[in-house]
Chains A and B, each alone.
Chain A
Amino acid sequence: MSGFFSYFTSHFATLGHEFWPLLVGGLATGFIYSMVAIGYTMVYGVLRLINFAHSEVFMSGGFASFFLTKWLVGSGTPSAWQSVLYVVLGVMVGGLAGAAIAALVERVAYRPLRRRKAPKLAYLISAIGASYFLFNLAAKEFGRINFAMSPPFVNHALFQFANAPVEMLDVITLVVGLLMLFGLDRLVSKSKLGRSIRAVAQDAETASLMGVNIDRTIAVTFLLGGFLGGAAGYLFGLKFGVVYTMGFTPALKAFTAAVLGGIGNLRGALIGGLLLGVVESLSVAFVNGAYIDVVSFGVLVLVLLVRPTGILGESLGRAA
């Protein structure tokens, strides 16, 4: 029993002085999870389906911005204004690539099945096919090794938060993540477009009777979710590099985040992502780093067991 206690006291000691750095790192990763989780949650809202190809949306955003950044930055060191411009361009191009792939997946793997009113299993299988196709195609076209992305800025510690140095990359992730999540939240809750998305999520048939174009709304949902997913791929790539399998684990975690917050719920995706990022990061104090993914998986199973509707609850159509 004393061994048990000393295990925890020693690990809590580690947690004690590592707490703030781990928290900052966890929050930065959490924003990336949130942005990807939004894609799951929105598609789930309108189609009641998990988009298995969303991991490849993330991956394509990473690759597109990787090639752009490589071309823009080259071997030089960009000036301050160039840095800002390049980051904005990276986010935009990553997002657009993600949106394009998401729209393509919807067009090829989902719409023909929707026309036929196929059972749910068919959508899952064709989406898995799309995911498998895309990441293996990426491997063929771009190679199979992990490419480090040289950031278009100098990644130094900007300031201390408690005893944790906060790096430029963390700040960028935080700002981009917050802006995008806030923008999407406003878009969905205020605009006409957002109203049509919510209407389809609540009741597609009635919405179509009220003059909402279902096909277009679903396509727009994929585009929006894809944009955030692709931009997240860029932020992730800045930190960890890009590789054809990069989408798999983050997407699994983003899905966990979406379920944790309450699937179909935009703010739930934000909370779930941040919470999962932090829990995962803090768990490093307790378990071997190789088992981080096991912790996230444990969280997923636990949530599904205890509260499958998530923290905020599923709120399809209310989007808040």
Chain B
Amino acid sequence: MKNLNASSLKRWGSLVALYAIVTVMTGPPGNQSAPTLGFTSSFSESVSFFGLFPAPRGLFFAVLFLIIGGGLALYRRTALKRVLSGARTAVAPRYAALTQRKATRGVFYAIVILVAIFLPHLVTDPFWQSAMVSQIAIYVLLAIGLNVVVGFAGLLDLGFVAFYAIGAYTTAWVTGALPAAAPFHHAINPFWAIPIAIVFVMIAGVVLGLPTLRLRGDYLAIVTLGFGEIVTIFLNNLYGVTGGSTGSNQIPHFSIHLGPLKYLWGLDPVPYYYLTLGFVVVFLVIFSALEHSRVGRSWVAIREDEIAAESVGINPLKYKVIAFAIGAASAGFAGVITGGQSLFINPATFTLSFSINILVLVIFGGMGSIIGVVVGSLIIQSVSMYLIHTPPAGFQNSDLYIYLGALLIAMMIFRPAGIWPSKRRRREIKFVATGEELDQINGTSDVNGEPV
């Protein structure tokens, strides 16, 4: 019993708490006439014990957590940890050298793009083909947009969905699919909605941002949260303009009429997949360029220390508004695509849950890391869609929200930089871990601290 000191007791306590939470959140639902039913049957309901024999859920999860807890304890105590970390330090420099070579990165991107191009031919299930557009590609676009606001500039925007809604409704308006009179006399193609929608959302972003961005970060979060709700209230209640809760009439599909070049997008999701993919690539290129530009560096400076940034001549408000407007623009853009692709839009789509879903993608992938956010979005959205398409026993679609909320907390506790941190964050983490001088890690000075 020598090992049962306070810290290991605490560790086991946390494990028991985690066990209870996981058992309940994956368990069966309750109802208002039996409020404790969901909790008790989470432990008592019979499940298959690793496919061997039926056992109560409580027991199944207890064994599962004992295995995990025992494994962790073993990992901590034995030489395994040392061996693994030794292997990691041995491999890391060679891996880093490999990834830093331009040629390797070029090959990597080429493979990714080829896979993306051939994906619709590999995945032919209609559910997945449509999910690839409306649930994955568009979410990637939204996530890399929110990453500019949350990741680069460090501003928590909880009303991101509002800009997405404004984009979608502008599309409906411009193409004459709303009760409000359309600005043009004949029906036009959603492509023309893109510039108009982007101007609209940028104006909305600036109007919302100018008064609130000079405030503390947490005030901004709550004001944007309120803004998201207000936009939904207006969409729901301005029947004559937005069509109220039923939303728009039919929005026309995208089409191209350029001389001999004619193409009409239709109900088939594959052409929309390519359209969205093209836009995602364009935005990825723009945002990557932006990250290392003067603007991108200003954002990082403001995010890390606003006063210091201001003292070297960066105007925080200006750059925050720019971040806000650019993030809003990409959301508006995604709204246009959604409008054209889904034809019907109504306020029920544009809820707080949507904003939080996008936030989870950014946090999971890694705030400020473009590749991380793309990878994170692909993973989370694919897993979510998999759960919805082939639900395991007892899973309801709304359980996803619970998991996403838990994931947000878990990421902040265990891996705040995300699964794929940006290069800058990786350096910072390494700095904290090893105590190496920052400019040594950055390569701006040699081992003796002399500038190179």
Contact = CB atoms under 8 A, between A and B. Distances in A.
Interface of A: 49-50, 52, 63, 67, 108-109, 112-113, 118, 120-126, 128-134, 136-137, 139-143, 145, 147, 248-249, 252, 255, 259, 288, 290-291, 293-294, 297, 300-301, 304-305, 308
Contacts of A141: 29-30, 35, 38-39
B359 interface: yes
Contact of B156 (A121, A136, A288): A121
B215 A122 contact: no
Nearest to B407: A129
Contacts of A130: 405, 409
Contact of A121 (B35, B154, B230): B154
Contacts of B31: 142-143
B32 A147 contact: yes
Contacts of A123: 412
Interface in B277-334: none
Interface stretch (B75-83, B216-224, B263-271, B438-446): B216-224
A133 B30 contact: no
A121 B233 contact: no
A288 B237 contact: yes
B212 A301 contact: yes
Nearest to A113: B412
Interface in B221-268: 221-223, 225-227, 229-230, 233-234, 236-237
B222 A255 contact: yes
30 contacts: A52-B222, A121-B150, A121-B367, A122-B416, A125-B412, A128-B221, A129-B406, A129-B409, A130-B405, A132-B356, A132-B401, A132-B405, A133-B402, A133-B408, A137-B24, A137-B402, A140-B38, A140-B398, A141-B30, A141-B39, A142-B32, A143-B29, A143-B31, A252-B229, A291-B233, A293-B233, A297-B226, A300-B222, A301-B212, A304-B211
Contacts of A67: 35
Interface of B: 24-25, 29-32, 35, 38-39, 150, 154, 156, 158, 211-212, 215, 217-219, 221-223, 225-227, 229-230, 233-234, 236-237, 352-353, 356, 359, 363, 367, 396, 398-399, 401-402, 404-409, 411-413, 416
Given A122-B412, A140-B30, A142-B32, A293 B217 contact: no
A293 B230 contact: yes
A42 to B, nearest CB: 15
